[in-house]
């Protein structure tokens, strides 16, 4: 079941997403957060570290688990998701989380790296709030179309379109890897609460399929319909194809929410 919150522009959607995370950490300072990368999240992390002082929120006791990482790419590589997280968030905080978990793409035994990651999530008591972005083809994490809904953290192949998308963002690598380590769909679905942030016209088709269904493995994000507590935060461009079928859609305009 979804709550869909639609904002007039990406900046307001990103801000709402950051406020939700701040609220979670203030309520429970030792929250276990599932974190995502991608362009969409940059402004969310920007808001979080800028508000660290303003909102008197402290992230030091938070435990974090990132969704995914490229296979074969070391944490030191500037294109790794480790580097993204350092650059965009952790290094910017005065008091960063001390318990950070990101899959190591260069682990000698990737399969056991994935098993250990699952074990650590369990040991932490599970994820309280999972932040998710959406791929243009409906992927979540690096669970590409066709990924089993029962999948756990594992090595998974990247689709051609995903590799093409990432090609233009590379700093150090010549081309994106063919595989990644990613939380599985079942792993993501075990989070107690999920926030899916989707912005921009390029995501409108994918978000339409996620919200309207059907729930099929060809659209990995559609699995979220089976989760009891998912909030979708979107801007109007990304929400262009949405119908309020089975979802509570709230439109925000000039600060005042109204049913839409």
Using the rule CB under 6 A, which residue among 12, 13, 14, 40 binds ligand GLP? 40
> Under the criterion CB under 6 A, does residue 97 sit at the interface with ligand GLP?
no
Question: What are the start-end ranges of the E strands in the chain?
Answer: 2-7, 32-35, 63-66, 68-70, 99-101, 129-132, 154-157, 179-182, 193-198, 230-235, 248-253, 256-259
Distance between CA atoms of residues 143 and 146, nearest Å: 8
Q: What is the dihedral of CA 129, 28, 75, 194, to 10 degrees?
A: 0
Stretch that binds ligand GLP, among 33-41, 43-51, 70-78, 147-155 (CB under 6 A): 33-41
Using the rule CB under 6 A, which residue among 97, 105, 110, 133 binds ligand GLP? 133
Tell me which residue has tokens 């709402």: 16
Nearer of residues 61 and 75 to ligand GLP, judged by Cβ = 75
Element (H, E) at 81: helix 81-88
Do the Cβ atoms of 28 and 20 come closer than 8 Å? Answer: no
Using the rule CB under 6 A, which residue among 3, 26, 29, 39 binds ligand GLP? 39
Residues near 36 by Cβ (< 8 Å), separated by ≥ 6?
A: 66, 67, 131, 132, 133, 141
> Under the criterion CB under 6 A, does residue 147 sit at the interface with ligand GLP?
no
The distance of closest approach from Cβ of residue 169 to ligand GLP in the complex, given in angstroms and rounded to an integer, is: 8
The distance of closest approach from Cβ of residue 242 to ligand GLP in the complex, given in angstroms and rounded to an integer, is: 18
Using the rule CB under 6 A, which residue among 25, 36, 156, 233 binds ligand GLP? 36
> Under the criterion CB under 6 A, does residue 87 sit at the interface with ligand GLP?
no
Element (H, E) at 207: helix 204-212
The distance of closest approach from Cβ of residue 49 to ligand GLP in the complex, given in angstroms and rounded to an integer, is: 18
Is 144 designated active site?
yes
> Under the criterion CB under 6 A, does residue 62 sit at the interface with ligand GLP?
no
Residues near 26 by Cβ (< 8 Å), separated by ≥ 6?
A: 55, 57
Is 137 designated active site?
yes
Is 172 designated active site?
no
Stretch that binds ligand GLP, among 37-45, 118-126, 208-216, 232-240 (CB under 6 A): 37-45
> Under the criterion CB under 6 A, does residue 184 sit at the interface with ligand GLP?
no
SS (H, E, C) 28-49: CCCCEEEECCCHHHHHHHHHHH
**Among the options 113, 118, 144, 235, which is catalytic?**
144
Q: Which residues bind ligand GLP (CB under 6 A)?
A: 36-40, 67-68, 133, 135, 141-142, 162
Catalytic residue ranges: 68, 137, 139, 144
């Amino acid at each position: 079941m979804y709550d869909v919150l639609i904002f007039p522009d990406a900046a307001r959607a990103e801000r709402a997403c950051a406020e939700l995370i701040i609220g979670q950490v203030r309520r429970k300072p030792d929250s276990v957060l599932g974190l995502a990368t991608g362009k969409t999240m940059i402004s969310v992390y920007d808001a979080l570290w800028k508000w660290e002082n303003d909102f008197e929120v402290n992230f030091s006791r938070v435990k974090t688990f990132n969704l995914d990482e490229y296979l074969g790419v070391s944490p030191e590589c500037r294109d790794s998701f480790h580097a993204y997280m350092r650059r965009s968030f952790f290094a910017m905080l005065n008091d960063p989380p001390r318990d950070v978990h990101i899959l190591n793409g260069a682990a000698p035994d990737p399969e056991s790296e994935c098993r250990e990651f699952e074990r650590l999530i369990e040991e932490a008591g599970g994820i309280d709030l999972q932040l998710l972005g959406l791929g243009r083809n409906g992927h979540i994490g690096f669970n590409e179309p066709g990924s089993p809904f029962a999948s756990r953290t594992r090595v998974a192949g990247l689709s051609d379109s995903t590799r093409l998308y990432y090609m233009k963002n590379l700093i150090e690598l010549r081309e994106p890897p063919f595989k990644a380590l990613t939380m599985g769909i079942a792993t993501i679905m075990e989070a107690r609460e999920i926030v899916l942030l989707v912005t921009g016209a390029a995501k409108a088709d994918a978000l339409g399929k996620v919200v309207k269904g059907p729930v099929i493995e060809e659209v990995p994000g559609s699995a979220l319909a089976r989760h009891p507590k998912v909030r979708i935060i979107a801007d109007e461009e990304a929400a262009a194809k949405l119908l309020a079928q089975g979802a509570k859609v709230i439109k925000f305009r000039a600060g005042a929410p109204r049913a839409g």
